[in-house]
Every structure is written in C-alpha cells, then in structure tokens.
Chain A
Amino acid sequence: MSAEATTPVIGEVPSFAVTLMVRRYNPEVDSEPKWQDYDLTMYGTDRVLDALHKIKWEVDGSLSFRRSCAHGVCGSDAMRINGRNRLACKTLIKDLDLSQPIYVEPIKGLEVEKDLIVDMNPFYQAYRDIKPFLIASDKPEKERIQSAADRERFDDTTKCILCAACTTSCPVFWTDGQYFGPAAIVNAHRFIFDSRDEAAEVRLDILNDKEGVWRCRTTFNCTEACPRGIQVTRAIAEVKQAVLRGRA
C-alpha cells in the first residue's frame, strides 16, 4: 500500500475570508433582533462553530450560543445556516457558498432567549409526552432476547440526539407550535417498533391526537435537516400506518 499517494494533505489548509451575518438579539437591551456582520479569516477544516467561537473569543464575548461536543453528537448547536437547519459543528465553512455572507440565525418556531439560544422546553415537553422509555412488564433474569432483525427494525430512530433541527424546520410546527413535531414522533417510533416494548398502542393513541402525526404534511424538511441522517419522514409514515392498523 502506498500511503503517501493516497494521503490527503492536511495541515496545509488554505485560508479564506468570509463574512458571517449573525442574527443578534438580547432582550435585556434590544427591542428586536438585528443582523450583525463579522469579517473573518477562516481555514479549510473550520466549521461554522469555529467561526462563532472566533467571534465570541476575539470580537464580541457577548455572542451567545449553545455548544458542547463540537462533533455532532450532543445536539446542542442546531441553528439556521444560510436558511437551513444544521449543526454549526458539522457544517464546514468551505462547503458553503463563500461569495456571499453566511447567514446564521436561531432555529425557528421556538422563542429566542438570546442570540442563537432558543427556549427548548416546548420541544422537550413534546418528547416527554410520547413516553420515551421502554415499557415492559416481564422481569427477565438476564437480557431480553431480541433477534438481530427485530433490533434492526428501529435502528434508524435510535440515532436521534434531540437537536431539534427537524422539528424547527417543519412548516407545520412554525405555525402555532402545538404540533408534536418530527423529533417526538421519531422517538415514539424508536419504542413503537421495539419488539421488547408493550405499550405501542399507548403511544399510537397519543400520536393519534389533533396535534399528532396527522398534522405532518410530508414536507421532508425534517429529513433534510436531520444531522444524523435519520429518515424522519419515513418514520412518521410508519407511525401513521401503525395508527391506522392500531398496532406496531
């Protein structure tokens, strides 16, 4: 194997100038949100999160946003980048159109608390409402037996990191915020189709609500926004079918 030939060149990353337009809002002083532009020099491996850090650490410390893991596993930093929901830590700047400013604003449909931070509580509440935990009455001595195929059945929806990118990309959720939203349905799906769970009917009943699965208009924004690549719309469709059948 010739390592040299196939080795990508890292370390010598090109730098480039970008302008970031950030939607700023501090209810303590501002009456309404405003756009603020920042000119930065960034590098090939930098992500939007790095740019935000650069602003926070070098230009304006009051810029507020959530973040933790910095590699797309904790779900803290969903935001709207150039009009689409993404994780800032998973969006490489070089992949964006650099001829124009990069627009960064909070996710939509949840109240803005400060800059890019929104009030996630309604989102978490919808999640808790679908009973996101295994309900099983048996008390096995060891592990419950589950075939690899049964395990595979709900694999996709176990990946969810509760980032809210999906729910806040959903045009139906934007309207009045009452819709359970794709993330809650994804997490219900994870249990409805788990062969070990006994409460599929309960969850199906919850989602057969006015604000449940039937509000989904299959706009696919959720699927396109999901940083974990979950087939959200498919999961919702499967839940709809299950509600129609009355069981998983």
Chain B
Amino acid sequence: MSTPKVHHHQYDVVIVGAGGAGMRAAIEAGPHAKTAVISKLFPTRSHTGAAQGGMAAALANVEEDNWEWHTFDTVKGGDYLVDQDAAEILAKESVEAVIDLENMGLPFNRTPDGKIDQRRFGGHTRDHGKAPVRRSCYAADRTGHMILQTLYQNCVKLGIEFYNEFYVLDLLMNTVDGVERPSAVVAYDLATGELHVFQGKSIVFATGGFGKIFKTTSNAHTLTGDGVGIIWRKGLPLEDMEFYQFHPTGLAGLGILLSEAARGEGGILRNASGERFMERYAPTIKDLAPRDMVARAMANEVREGRGAGPHKDYVLLDLTHLPPEVIDAKLPDITEFARTYLGVEPYTEPVPVFPTAHYAMGGIPTNVKAEVLRDNDTVVPGLYAAGECACVSVHGANRLGTNSLLDINVFGKRAGIFSVEYAKTADFVPVPEGAVDEVVALLTAVRNSKGTEKVAVLRKELQDTMDKNAQVYRTEESLDEALAKIVELRERYQHISIQDLGQRFNTDLLEAVELGFLLDLAEVLAYTAKERRESRGGHFREDYETRDDEKFMVHSMAYKTGDTIKLGWKPVTITNYPPMERKY
C-alpha cells in the first residue's frame, strides 16, 4: 500500500468515542476549550442507545432513599471489590447527573405529581439491603436511547465538532520533562482510507466495551474494545479484566438483551417445571438479586437438567401475569424484541432467556478525576478515560443494573471538567517522529497478508472458546484451554487475508484490525481470570468456589511486557463498609 494521505489537527481536548461518556465529556469541555470528538460510529449509533432499564439516583421521588444506601448497594453489589471513595462520588453525584439530563431535555417518565418517576432494579435496596427500593430513573425501556439522543442534541446545540466514522487506531505518547504524556491519536477515516492525526493537550478515551470477545452477547458488532486495546498496546495497565458481567436475561440463542426492568416490573424467572427457582437462591429479593447471582442460578438450573425447551438449555421469563397495559407502557421495546426475534407473545407466553455477555467491569484504570493510571497510583498527565472502557472502580466485581448509565454521566462529566482544567495550563506535547508509522505498518500488514485464514472464522473460534471456557462458570482447566486457543488464533492471525483492498469504506480491513484488539483483550481476560483463584461477583471459579478476602481483596493490574502479560495487584479503597458476606 502506498503511504496514505495524512491530515493534521490540533484541539485542546480530543475525545475518542461518542457514546454516553464521550458526549457527556464533550458537553463539559466544548464550551471552554477547543474540542473534537472522534467516533467510529455516528454518535447516536453508539451502544449507549441500547441501554433500556434506567439510571440509578437516590432522588427519593417516590419513596425514602439516600446516596449512602446507594453507595452501600454499589459496594455490596460489586462484592466489596469496589473502590468506596469512587462509589461515594458516584452515588452523591447521581442526583445532579439525573437533574442535568432532565434540564438538557431528557424526557423521563413522570410521577403523578410531575417529578421524575423511579422504579426498582436488581440489587438496589433501602436501608442496607432491607427491601428493594425504587431508585432507577427511566424513560420507558429506552433510557439509554434517550440519554444518547439528549446528549447528542446538546452537542448539536453547543456546536461540538465531530469526526464520525473515524477509527482511532493508535495513541501517540511522547516524553516531556521526563514524564511520558499523550500527544495525539491517529485515526483512520473510513470513507476515504486517509489518516488523521489529532493532537490534543488532553485526550479522553470513552470507547465503550468489548463484548464481542464472546459469542452470546448483548453488545453491538462494533464493541470490539479498540480503545482498551490501544491503551494495552501502549504498555499501560488494565484493571480487573477478569470481571465480566453476564446478564441473566438475554433472548435465548441470540443474546439480545431483555432489560432487568422486566423483573423490576414484576417478571418472574421459572425453570422447565414452572418453579420460581430464584426463591431458592436469594430468598429475600428473589428475581431482583444481583446479576451475577441470577445468571449463575440460571446456568445452574440448566446444568442440573431443569432447563426448558427441546434441549433444556434455557429458562423462562414469565410476564404473563402482568396486565398488557403495564407491559405496553413500561416495557414496550423489549416485548417487541421477543415478538420480532423469537416469535413469542409475552402477554401470553413466557420468554426463553439465557445469560448473555453484557458488561466489562474492568478496563483502563483511572482515579476519581478520570485520569488514567500508569501503575497503582501514578497518573498519566493529560490522559483521561471514562465509561465502560474505564475502571474507576465503581463496579468492582459486579456492576449493579442502572449504575453504568450513571457511571458514564458522572465520570464522563468529570473527564470533561478535568481534561479542560488540564488543557488550560498545559502545552501541546510534540507529535513524535514517524507519527503514523505504526498505524501504516498495521494496515499494510493486514492488506498485504496473503494467507488463507479468514477473519470471520478466527473471530468465531475465539468467541466460541470464550463462551465455552470463560463464561459464567470458569475453572483453571477451562481458562487454560481458552488461553491455548488464543495463542493458536494469534498465530493464525498472522496468516489472514482480506478481500477488499480498496480505500473507500473498507470495513473488511477494519474488521481484521478489530479482531486484533479482541484477541488481545480476550487473552488478558482469560489470563487474569486464571490468576484470580477465588470466586467473587461476576467471576466464578468452580475450583475455588468462595470469596477469598485474605488473598484477593485486591484489583488485578495487567501489563503488556513484550509478548507476555505481567500481573500486579492494587489495594481496594475501603472507607465505610468492611467486606461482609454477600447474601440477598
């Protein structure tokens, strides 16, 4: 490939990703600094739009509630691996985050007296676990859609500059005053195949999750973890990568998500014989137990032969006792999914569901100012991360439903505020020599590779092995199998070939590049999962069935050193809530 055309841009703040977190940051940054948002998708196509259930905030609009209870639930839900200072910020700033959105125009559902309505959601309780509480603010079952639209609308209002369908493929770092700092990102313009270097005083990563390492997932095709992968390849650490959330209610076989709101509104999980099995696993809050527990309970029902269907490989979500008006008013979209994709009528039939890969608790480690960390406590000046790609860590070992939409708003906003603050005083970091060399090399290698392996085949094999070996139940053996497979796939990845050699809209090329990131992240996940020899939150080891606070009350910190993974550990910040057994 001839060297592509390269364009240069300078912005005070460069934000990578136009999902909820990226745009929330842009709304803070835009009015105060020259800001660009770079996104591989048109902003409203980001996966924040798929979020359904709601956004947690202790508004106490419908019943007594406060941020302290919310903090407790978050910490407990995260199986005590949550950094409690961060969780306090999350819970405290939640109210403002929701009010911000409302003031920006978000059409929340309303109470009879015109305030923002709230509903129940898994793991959110009153008075430290006494009973479920209505804490989730929502807009029907398209809260994420409304957040994404509202944020984009406000970006339009502010005249934020977007570079859409630009794939960021590299982060350039340079050493100034003896400190390594971010200087620019390199992006590939899908429409033309040309490269763009965006130099920024501060750079914010908000690139979302990487659910596509799994086969059955609620995540979009585009959630390939590029941002997290780029950070990884720079030698910066990734935190808590073993903690991946499997959402209990994905449409069986498809992975499309049916929000927890379905259970919040009274939906009940049943096994083949119609038994409400959650009564056995979480007697107090039953179907509204945290996701990891419900997902495991479901997988266990199936493993023990109580699954429904011809292959006994799923359980049933029963909404038939809910009045159709309630379903229509509160859960219109997800019942529509059941109808469209499975041909099931939720008014009268239970819906086949099974856990689906949903959310990465881990990611790029940051402090509460959204500054990226290069080790347990040193920040990389000028580099920020927020949203699902980041790990603050407010979700610990298991995220509570509705806490992620909150996370992207609270920490997205913080990333915006602090990145501007930094850009106000900082200078541009010089772009290193040969800025685009690495990206050109990467793209050329893929384009010129004349092997026989196909990207889609490798990706499928990766996803299959991850579903089989690194899902709800894990063992040393299964994780070893996954790792061996990844090594094999990585080798075969050297021999891929693509068919599209053109410049315009070459998605063939980009899928190959994305696969590279998927392989990297899958490996880190499997590796850290293997090293965490305990069970906690979303990470369940059949060979180590209990939580081991003695050894593992720590965050994992994985570093890429050459071609191997180096693992470190980072203490958990505990303020008010000493670890206790997690029972519901």
The answer on a CB contact under 8 Å between A45 and B254 is yes
Answer yes or no: A6 CB below 8 A from chain B CBs. yes
Answer yes or no: B2 CB below 8 A from chain A CBs. no
> Among A29, A74, A76, A155, which residue has the most Cβ atoms of chain B within 10 A?
A74
**Which residues, 1 to 39 on A, are CB-close (under 8 Å) to B?**
1-4, 6-12, 26-29
The answer on a CB contact under 8 Å between A143 and B221 is no
The answer on a CB contact under 8 Å between A58 and B142 is no
CA distance A136 to B106 in the complex (A): 13
Residue of A whose beta carbon sits closest to that of B504: A114
Inter-chain CB contacts under 8 Å: number? 202
Q: In the complex where A64-B507, A161-B49 touch, is A133 in contact with B341 (Cβ < 8 A)?
A: no
The answer on a CB contact under 8 Å between A133 and B504 is no
Pairs A–B under 8 Å by Cβ, sample size 16: A1-B320, A1-B350, A3-B270, A7-B352, A10-B310, A12-B310, A67-B221, A69-B45, A70-B256, A71-B50, A133-B104, A143-B116, A144-B103, A146-B114, A151-B108, A162-B44
The answer on a CB contact under 8 Å between B42 and A73 is no
Answer yes or no: A60 CB below 8 A from chain B CBs. yes
The answer on a CB contact under 8 Å between A147 and B114 is yes
The answer on a CB contact under 8 Å between B456 and A58 is yes
The answer on a CB contact under 8 Å between B105 and A10 is no
The answer on a CB contact under 8 Å between A11 and B311 is yes
**Which residues, 157 to 192 on A, are CB-close (under 8 Å) to B?**
158-162, 191
Contact partners of B64 in chain A: CB under 8 A:
none
CA distance A74 to B156 in the complex (A): 18
CA distance A6 to B351 in the complex (A): 10
Interface of B is mostly: loop
The 3 closest A-B pairs by CB, nearest first: A134-B105, A57-B456, A62-B500
CA distance A117 to B164 in the complex (A): 14
Answer yes or no: A142 CB below 8 A from chain B CBs. yes
Answer yes or no: A105 CB below 8 A from chain B CBs. no
The answer on a CB contact under 8 Å between B310 and A11 is yes
B222 to chain A, nearest CB (A): 5
A194 to chain B, nearest CB (A): 7
The answer on a CB contact under 8 Å between A28 and B502 is yes
Residue of B whose beta carbon sits closest to that of A11: B311
Q: In the complex where A71-B50, A151-B109, A194-B105 touch, is A56 in contact with B508 (Cβ < 8 A)?
A: yes
Q: How many residues of B contact A (CB 8 A)?
A: 81
- Select one of B44, B50, B344 contacting A8, CB under 8 A: B344
Residue of B whose beta carbon sits closest to that of A12: B310
- Select one of B221, B344, B505, B507 contacting A70, CB under 8 A: B221
The answer on a CB contact under 8 Å between A3 and B110 is no
The answer on a CB contact under 8 Å between A69 and B50 is yes
- Select one of B49, B272, B313 contacting A74, CB under 8 A: B49
CA distance A9 to B252 in the complex (A): 11
CA distance A160 to B116 in the complex (A): 21
The answer on a CB contact under 8 Å between B313 and A11 is yes
- Select one of B111, B340, B348 contacting A92, CB under 8 A: B340
The answer on a CB contact under 8 Å between B316 and A7 is yes
Segment from B120-128, B146-154, B385-393 that makes contact with A: B146-154
Q: In the complex where A133-B157, A158-B139 touch, is A72 in contact with B116 (Cβ < 8 A)?
A: no
Answer yes or no: A224 CB below 8 A from chain B CBs. no
Residue of B whose beta carbon sits closest to that of A59: B499
> Among B102, B140, B270, which residue has the most Cβ atoms of chain A within 10 A?
B102
Answer yes or no: B454 CB below 8 A from chain A CBs. yes
CA distance A69 to B316 in the complex (A): 24
Answer yes or no: B487 CB below 8 A from chain A CBs. no
The answer on a CB contact under 8 Å between B504 and A7 is no
A197 to chain B, nearest CB (A): 8
CA distance A72 to B115 in the complex (A): 30
Q: In the complex where A56-B508, A60-B499, A68-B45 touch, is A147 in contact with B310 (Cβ < 8 A)?
A: no
The answer on a CB contact under 8 Å between A9 and B44 is no
Answer yes or no: B318 CB below 8 A from chain A CBs. yes
The answer on a CB contact under 8 Å between A8 and B352 is yes
Known: A7-B316, A158-B146. 10 other contacts (CB 8 A): A4-B308, A7-B349, A56-B456, A60-B499, A74-B46, A74-B49, A114-B505, A133-B104, A161-B49, A194-B105
A198 to chain B, nearest CB (A): 12
Contact partners of A147 in chain B: CB under 8 A:
110, 114
Answer yes or no: B107 CB below 8 A from chain A CBs. yes
Interface of A is mostly: loop
The answer on a CB contact under 8 Å between A62 and B508 is yes
Instruction: Report B's interface with A, CB cutoff 8 A.
Output: 41-42, 44-47, 49-50, 98-99, 102-105, 107-116, 139-140, 142, 145-146, 149, 153-154, 156-157, 191, 220-222, 252-254, 256, 270-274, 308-311, 313-314, 316, 318, 320, 333, 337, 340-344, 348-350, 352, 454-457, 498-500, 502-508
Contact partners of A136 in chain B: CB under 8 A:
103, 105
B570 to chain A, nearest CB (A): 33
Residue of A whose beta carbon sits closest to that of B96: A142
The answer on a CB contact under 8 Å between A61 and B508 is yes
B501 to chain A, nearest CB (A): 8
Contact partners of B104 in chain A: CB under 8 A:
133-134
Answer yes or no: A90 CB below 8 A from chain B CBs. yes
Q: In the complex where A69-B47, A73-B145 touch, is A145 in contact with B114 (Cβ < 8 A)?
A: yes
The answer on a CB contact under 8 Å between B343 and A8 is yes
Contact partners of B507 in chain A: CB under 8 A:
56, 64-65
Contact partners of B108 in chain A: CB under 8 A:
143, 151
- Select one of A1, A26, A27, A70 contacting B274, CB under 8 A: A1
Contact partners of A113 in chain B: CB under 8 A:
191, 504-505
Answer yes or no: A75 CB below 8 A from chain B CBs. yes
Contact partners of A66 in chain B: CB under 8 A:
45
Residue of B whose beta carbon sits closest to that of A152: B110
- Select one of B50, B99, B253, B273 contacting A3, CB under 8 A: B273
Q: In the complex where A8-B343, A71-B337, A143-B108 touch, is A133 in contact with B309 (Cβ < 8 A)?
A: no
Residue of A whose beta carbon sits closest to that of B312: A11
B59 to chain A, nearest CB (A): 8
Contact partners of A194 in chain B: CB under 8 A:
105, 107
Residue of B whose beta carbon sits closest to that of A70: B221
CA distance A75 to B507 in the complex (A): 18
Contact partners of B102 in chain A: CB under 8 A:
143-144
Contact partners of B252 in chain A: CB under 8 A:
10-11
Contact partners of B506 in chain A: CB under 8 A:
62, 64
The answer on a CB contact under 8 Å between B499 and A10 is no
> Among B103, B146, B313, B498, which residue has the most Cβ atoms of chain A within 10 A?
B103
The answer on a CB contact under 8 Å between A159 and B142 is yes
Residue of B whose beta carbon sits closest to that of A143: B102
Residue of B whose beta carbon sits closest to that of A13: B253
The answer on a CB contact under 8 Å between A1 and B318 is yes
Contact partners of A196 in chain B: CB under 8 A:
105
Residue of B whose beta carbon sits closest to that of A71: B256
Residue of A whose beta carbon sits closest to that of B222: A68
The answer on a CB contact under 8 Å between B153 and A134 is yes
Contact partners of A98 in chain B: CB under 8 A:
none
CA distance A60 to B500 in the complex (A): 8
Contact partners of A191 in chain B: CB under 8 A:
105
Contact partners of B45 in chain A: CB under 8 A:
66, 68-69, 74-76
CA distance A115 to B506 in the complex (A): 11
CA distance A6 to B498 in the complex (A): 46
Q: In the complex where A3-B274, A8-B352 touch, is A62 in contact with B316 (Cβ < 8 A)?
A: no
